[in-house]
């Protein structure tokens, strides 16, 4: 190592020469061309398919061959340029909502193809950041890196003070300057695209840029990663099935991070797991349970769960695998407002209320301005009718490709997008689903999620009262709407009789039974009106009575309970007088 030490400063001076002004302009030009070509191709193919769908040509899809050609060029150039282009390619490889499967496969191997930086660079960074010669910090530091990513790489070493084996994480050279350059170019491209084209109906480019910039700067600040690792250590301190490595805080700077070395097996190394007879189903279950704890309980999660960041700890018993997470540079959060809207989606599903679901999706940013909410609500209602009440066995046998096509048909020509704050959440979930299915094909994602979902919804012993009130509140809103419905219908029918309102219905959209019903004439309108009014009031009476009894006897809430009983009494009076 001594010869390397003598030449480290000399090597550093040579690498300084790499970022000359003409190289900066050359890089910016290549990044600009690459981004414009890629975003334009994705936008053009999507718009072509949407235009065809609006003209009834539902079989038209984006040209996969064109997208494969573009993304193959993107992958090649990203590997040459490195840094953010690799990271951006990895992000695109998870966007099944933007790209067909064959195009996604072109970018899927980017994570494993990143070339490492020379060992001389590693030496120079460690010495400049920690202020000591390398041989005073480590008795041994392996020249060959054990992992290389877009923003940094990891080497195995032994601490001189304790003899402990550690993982040494070092940033790539001139990362700050390269990140600034690439982000500036990306922002410039997004401005051009937004001035010329309207991409808001499938991706929020400004929002994506802000989220991408935030996560990138978090990843290149190892002091922030130290805080994340300590928080994860605390989160799982009472869970013996999950292990978080310890960080050696005395050897941490903005560009160097030293952690406890983890001997283990990658969770996608199936032959090694099988050789030790590790229960792969339990590995999948514990990994997914750990993520549900992060999502639902903590609202703070590891946002980069690729197989290189999750291990089965060495020494684990076959039937008791210990799951270890590493690399805490990219994390995500679930805010209180996001939790409220997600809860509304779940409650809307329980009540089969498509309006509540769609409104929550609007608040979360999934449905943009200009969307036909009535059409989306009708489509959502049909999907609820089709999938509601399915057993876990039926869910296991579902054709997820067909479900995806149903969703695509519902939303493809609507301004539906993945909000920026969910872009990396979706990446984590999709990666986790693929990993768990690969570990154990019989793994049931839903069965593991149910206990956490019940707790998240407040359907456990602690939260059932609050959730019952929320459901009752939504039902009462429906009841109040039904109470006003007869009067609204009276006004509508009066306007029609007076000729103040013209009703036009396409014959093609009506069944023969509906047409026959129309021909009966205006004399038959009174009976269905009375039946409809009576049904509405009877429904509100039953709902109010049940709610009042439940609130008084089970939840001991007299104000809300008596309100419901009074509402039930009023509906009885209304029924009597209408009779």
Please classify residue 204 by burial: count the beta carbons closer than 10 Å to its beta carbon, then call 0-12 exposed, 13-18 middle and 19+ buried: buried
3-state secondary structure of 82: coil
Distance CA 307, CA 262 (A): 14
65 catalytic, yes or no?
A: no
Q: At what angle do helices 175-196 and 21-54 cross, to 10 degrees?
A: 40
Extended beta strands in 107-247, E state: 138-141, 147-148, 152-159, 165-171, 242-243
DSSP 214-276: HHHHHHT-HHHHHHHHHHHHHHTTT-TTEE-PPB-GGG--SSEEEEE---EEETT-HHHHHHT
Active-site option among 304, 344, 353, 413: 304
Question: In the 3-class helix/strand/coil scheme, how is 347-391 assigned residue by residue?
Answer: HHHHHCCHHHHHHHHHHHCCECCCCCHHHHHHHHHHHHHHHCCCC
The token duo for 249 is: 């805080």
Question: In the 3-class helix/strand/coil scheme, how is 518-539 assigned residue by residue?
Answer: HCCCHHHCHHHHHHHHHHHHHH
Strand pairing category for 310-313 and 242-243: unpaired
Extended beta strands in 92-136, E state: none
Distance CA 489, CA 495 (A): 10
Asked if residue 269 lies in contact with residue 417, where contact means CB atoms within 8 angstroms, the answer is: no
3-state secondary structure of 126: helix
List CB contacts of 500: < 8 A, sequence separation 6 or more. Answer: none
Active site residues: 304
């Amino acid at each position: 190592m001594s010869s390397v030490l003598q030449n480290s400063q000399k090597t550093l001076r040579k690498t300084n020469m790499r970022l000359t002004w003409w190289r900066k302009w050359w890089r910016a030009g290549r990044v600009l061309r690459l981004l414009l070509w890629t975003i334009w191709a994705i936008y053009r193919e999507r718009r072509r398919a949407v235009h065809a769908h609006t003209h009834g040509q539902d079989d038209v899809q984006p040209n996969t061959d064109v997208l494969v050609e573009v993304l193959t060029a993107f992958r090649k150039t990203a590997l040459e340029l490195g840094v953010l282009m690799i990271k951006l390619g990895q992000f695109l490889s998870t966007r099944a909502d933007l790209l067909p499967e064959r195009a996604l496969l072109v970018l899927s191997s980017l994570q494993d193809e990143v070339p490492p930086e020379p060992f001389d660079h590693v030496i120079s960074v460690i010495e400049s950041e920690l202020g000591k010669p390398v041989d005073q910090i480590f008795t041994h530091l392996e020249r060959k890196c054990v992992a290389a990513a877009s923003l940094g790489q990891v080497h195995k070493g032994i601490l001189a003070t304790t003899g402990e084996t550690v993982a040494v994480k070092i940033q790539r050279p001139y990362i700050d300057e390269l990140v600034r350059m690439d982000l500036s170019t990306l922002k410039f491209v997004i401005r051009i695209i937004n001035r010329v084209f309207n991409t808001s109906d499938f991706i929020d480019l400004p929002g994506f840029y802000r989220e991408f910039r935030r996560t990138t700067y978090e990843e290149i600040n190892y002091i922030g990663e130290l805080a994340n690792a300590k928080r994860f250590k605390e989160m799982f301190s009472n869970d013996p099935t999950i292990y978080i490595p310890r960080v050696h805080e005395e050897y941490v700077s903005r560009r160097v991070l030293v952690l406890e070395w983890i001997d283990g097996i990658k969770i996608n190394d199936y032959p090694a797991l099988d050789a030790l007879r590790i229960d792969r189903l339990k590995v999948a279950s514990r990994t997914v349970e750990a993520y549900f704890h992060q999502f639902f309980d903590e609202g703070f999660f590891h946002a980069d769960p690729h197989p290189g960041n999750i291990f089965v700890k060495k020494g684990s018993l076959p039937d008791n695998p210990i799951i270890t997470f590493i690399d805490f540079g990219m994390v995500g959060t679930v805010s209180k407002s996001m939790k409220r809207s997600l809860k509304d989606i779940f409650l809307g599903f329980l009540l089969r209320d498509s309006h509540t679901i769609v409104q929550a999706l609007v608040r979360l940013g999934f449905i943009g301005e200009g969307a036909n909410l009535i059409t989306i609500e009708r489509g959502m209602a049909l999907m609820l009718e089709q999938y509601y009440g399915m057993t876990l066995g039926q869910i296991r046998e579902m054709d997820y490709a067909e479900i995806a096509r149903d969703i695509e048909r519902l939303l493809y020509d609507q301004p539906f997008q993945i909000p920026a704050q969910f872009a990396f959440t979706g990446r984590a979930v999709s990666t986790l689903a693929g990993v768990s299915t690969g570990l154990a094909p019989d793994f049931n994602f839903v069965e593991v999620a149910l206990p956490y979902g019940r707790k998240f919804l407040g359907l456990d012993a602690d939260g059932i009262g609050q959730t019952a009130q929320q459901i009752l509140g939504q039902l009462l809103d429906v009841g109040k709407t039904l109470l006003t419905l007869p009067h609204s219908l009276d006004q509508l029918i009066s306007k029609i009789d007076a000729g103040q309102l013209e009703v036009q219905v396409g014959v093609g959209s009506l069944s023969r039974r509906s047409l026959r019903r129309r021909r009966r004439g205006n004399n038959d309108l009174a009976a269905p009106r009375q039946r409809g009014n009576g049904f509405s009031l009877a429904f509100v009476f039953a709902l109010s009575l049940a709610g009042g009894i439940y609130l008084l006897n089970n939840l001991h809430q007299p104000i809300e309970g008596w309100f419901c009983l009074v509402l039930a009494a009023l509906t009885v009076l209304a029924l009597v007088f209408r009779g």
